[in-house]
Amino acid sequence: MTFASPIFFWSFLALAPLIAIYLLKVRPRRKPTTAFFLWEKIFQEKRASSLMHRLRDLLSLLMMALAFCAVCLALAQPRWTNDNRKDLLLIIDNSASMSAQEGLSTRLEQAKSRAAQIAQGLDGTQRAAVATVARDLRYVSHLTDNPRELVAAIEAIQPSDEALQPQSLPLVDENRQFTGDYRLLLLSDGCFDRDAAPTGFELIKIGQPQKNIGLVAADLQYVPGGQLQMSCYFQVASSFTEGVDVDLLLSRENGDTTQLVKVIPLSIEPGINEPVVLAIENAEPGRWIAKLDIEDPLSDDNTAYLCARRPPPIPISVESDDQFFFQQCVLAFSGDAGLLSLVEESPKLVLAKAQSSDAEQTIVFQPAGNSTWWSELSDEIDDVVPRVLIEDHPLIRHFDPASIVYLGARRLQAPPGAQILVASDDDVPLIYVANQSGKQAVVVNIDPIAAELYFSAWFPVLVHSAALHLAGREDPLLATYTAGTLVQIPEAEEATTSQLNGPHDTKTEVVGTTFDGLDQLGFYQIKREGSEWDIGCSLLARQETLLDNEQVPDTSEPISRGSSPAQWLTILALVVVTAESVLYHRRKVG
């Protein structure tokens, strides 16, 4: 046997005053009397029973000493040496699929009930901690042997709209093997990719296979060149064993009202169905809702919250002696749903060749003369070998800069702080982004005529990417996001403060360029300095929608239960003290 708190062995020293109390003799006081013969009879009876009195006092002393020793040992918290109980980590899956109805309750409620039973069954004999897992692992209780504290933490767990990421399970080595020195118990319905999960944990399976249908992909985009024509994309999954006919209701929010726009009849087959793309004419931008008209165990995956975006085109003017190719490049991305617009006055961006512009945003090809965007301009470079320095930069994300022939490139010096994306083998900047006094420019060190860049497919792509980058639109907002996804705030900087209005009238302030506060399904709105953007949050998770967990086995093992030695010692002390109290009462009464 081992002891968790051996320092309490010092409490045995208190036995000394206890024994002294019983051994201490009280000397009777002398009193004169006139009737000694009456007292003499009493003294004779007392001498006859003195041995019984001493035995009775010794029994009382032994019983009190036994009770005292039991309390001292209980304080030392003894443990059986052959009891190899490990600490437990109870991880409760509170992902979206755990909100599915299972009989009269949800799977999460059943998991919480099962976890509470485990915590109460530990009976203070071993420690446990409680955590939840969905997209991330979150601890809700530290390691403790207090069942009441564990049960309170379990009861406080709320459902999440996030999909379960099994990679979030803790403490795994390079072989995805759980390495903790305690038992990890995962209470889950098993609706996740078991191959992606680490090994070494015990799965306590919750729930049975359910028949469910849900949206697993959705998107909404305007068709380029179309007159308010929108393309709607969606994909449905089903865990039914047979085909099901269901309607998809496509609606648009208009203020406080919702207008039904289209009803699409669908024939859903078991498993992941083929994607569906349909066109919507005269579609206004704003908030759209795609909803499957069906009642099934999981209702959250029946609705997709989508935002149709139609940002205004970027007005661009051309400053060049040969404007034709530059104008055609801009017109290629113009139109009703285009992102660029060719203008002559009040441009936001200037596309120039061989000259510098005073505009706030400029794209310059073939640098010439004096400019704030370059210095030390000199001779042309022969046999340029390009090197890509920042491969993941948004400006060069959609084309291969190393495949361009940089004829006409000249030696120059980029301004301080410039981002050099492509350089020659002797470090001459070829493509770079510069900032000066609140202005921005993309400089392409190349002669487009000599390099025949005008006839290359990369030319319009380069202009388009540079324009979107300077306008801050290289990462446009998606039509919808899944819960927990990181969202890029449009036109925001590190110190920018934005107001985020979420579902159920929740309001928060976000500082910076991103936020990951999409924790509820529905519509959000970002507001800042007179601008506002709508954000949709939908479930769209295959593993959550397919509630068929028949292939996932329960791998849990029995959990040791029972009272600790300290509890039995405490009970023994109470019994002995009670018995001594009864005997003492009998002695006093007679």
Domain of residue 383, CATH code: 3.40.50.880
Query: How many structural domains comprise the chain?
Result: 5
Task: Quickly list DSSP for 425-475.
Answer: TT--EEEEEEEETTEEEEEE-S-TTTTTGGGSTHHHHHHHHHHHHHTT-SS
Clarify whether residues 334 and 367 are in a common domain.
yes
Say if 509 falls within a structural domain.
yes
The C-alpha angle 303, 309, 314, rounded to 5 degrees, equals 165
Q: Looking at the structure, do residues 61 and 103 belong to the same domain, yes or no?
A: no
Q: Give the model's confidence band at 36: pLDDT under 50 very low, under 70 low, under 90 confident, else very high.
A: low
CA dihedral sign of residues 369, 375, 378, 381: negative
Residue 552 lies in a domain: no
Q: Same domain, yes or no, for 33 and 60?
A: yes
Res 289: pLDDT:
95
Question: 285 by DSSP, 3-state: which?
Answer: coil
Scan for tokens 């139109």, then name that residue. 335
Percent of the chain whose pLDDT exceeds 70 = 86
Mean pLDDT of the chain: 83
Report the pLDDT value the prediction gives residue 83, as an integer from 0 to 100.
47
Q: Does the pLDDT value for residue 443 go beyond 50?
A: yes
- The 8-class DSSP code of residue 233 comes to E
Rounded to whole angstroms, the Cα distance separating 461 from 337 reads: 17
Give yes or no: residues 299 and 424 share one domain. no
Same domain, 217 and 302: yes
Question: Do 93 and 162 belong together in one domain?
Answer: yes
Q: What is the DSSP string of 311-371?
A: PPPEEEEEESSS-HHHHHHHHTT-STT-SEEE-SSS-SEEEEESS---SSEEEEES--S-B
Domain-located, residue 560 = no
Mean of pLDDT values over 258-285: 91
d(CA 423, CA 444): 11
227 lies in the same domain as 320: no
Task: State pLDDT tens for residues 573-582.
Answer: 888 878 877 7
Whether 456 is covered by a domain: the verdict is yes
Is residue 171 scored above 80 in pLDDT? Answer: no
pLDDT for position 112: 95
Cα distances (angstroms) measured from residue 77 to each of 67, 68, 84, 124, 501: 16, 15, 16, 11, 53
CATH of the domain at 251: 2.60.40.10
Asked if residue 238 has pLDDT above 90, the reply is yes
Residue 217 confidence (pLDDT): 94
Summarize pLDDT for 310-326 with one digit per residue, the tens: 878 888 998 888 888 88
* Predicted confidence (pLDDT) per residue in 387-396, tens digit: 999 888 888 8
Is position 476 within any domain?
Answer: no
The yes-or-no verdict on residue 178 having pLDDT over 70 is no
Specify if 559 maps to a domain.
Answer: no
pLDDT above 70 for 379: yes
Same domain for 446 and 373 = yes
Per-residue pLDDT at 388:
92
Q: What would the two tokens of residue 337 be?
A: 């749903």
Rama region for 204: left / alpha / beta (φ>0; ψ in -120 to 50; rest) = beta
Domain extent, residue 386, equals: 314-470
| Position 589 pLDDT exceeds 90 | no
Residues 202 and 94 in one domain: yes
Q: Is the same domain home to 234 and 301?
A: yes
Q: Identify the CA nearest to 405 among candidates 382, 427, 376.
A: 382
pLDDT at 283: 84
Residues 328 and 464 in one domain: yes
What does the pLDDT read at residue 145? 83
Mean pLDDT computed over 215-222 = 92
In-domain check, residue 557: no
Q: Say whether pLDDT at 518 is over 50.
A: yes
- CATH number for 94: 3.40.50.410
Lowest mean pLDDT among 225-239, 323-337, 401-415: 323-337
User: Is 558 domain-assigned?
Assistant: no
pLDDT above 60 for 51: no
Both 283 and 332 in one domain: the answer is: no
